[in-house]
Structure 1
Amino acid sequence: MAELYKCGICGAVTKASEQVCDVVAIEDKDEYCGTDDKPTVMCNPMKKQAAYMCNSCGRPADQPDHLCDPLKI
């Protein structure tokens, strides 16, 4: 089973697959850290859960350890 999930629409990252609209299983943050696929909109379920965003790419997440450069929002 995957450690993390990201939303295929907004790129949000979480350990809880039910928090994203378009679930994509990923093994670890190396699959998305350093990429420049900036999210343009955040899905509704993640809007309630996102407490952090990446200071580099803008990707939202519910935990700081899911991001390479976390910033509390």
Structure 2
Amino acid sequence: MKSDSKATDRTSLEALTEAYLSKGGTITQCAPGPSENVTYKHSMRGRPRAKPDAAEKPLDSTASTPAADA
């Protein structure tokens, strides 16, 4: 059963390729291996870091002490 599916896919692909080439399209074959001109749209992977809670932040000692009268 799968061989019929593969044969159908192959003939469909050949028909699409012939239509593309008849309209003036070109097929470019690249050399195997990694490309040197890769442009990534997104650089972040995974979940973002959690923001620290207010309890975890150190308090600024100079801002919390009242000014002493001299």
Structure 2-normalised TM-score?
Answer: 0.20
Structure 1-normalised TM-score?
Answer: 0.20
Q: Which has the larger strand fraction? A: 1
Q: Which has the larger helix fraction? A: 2
Structure 1 or 2, whichever has the larger Rg, is: 2
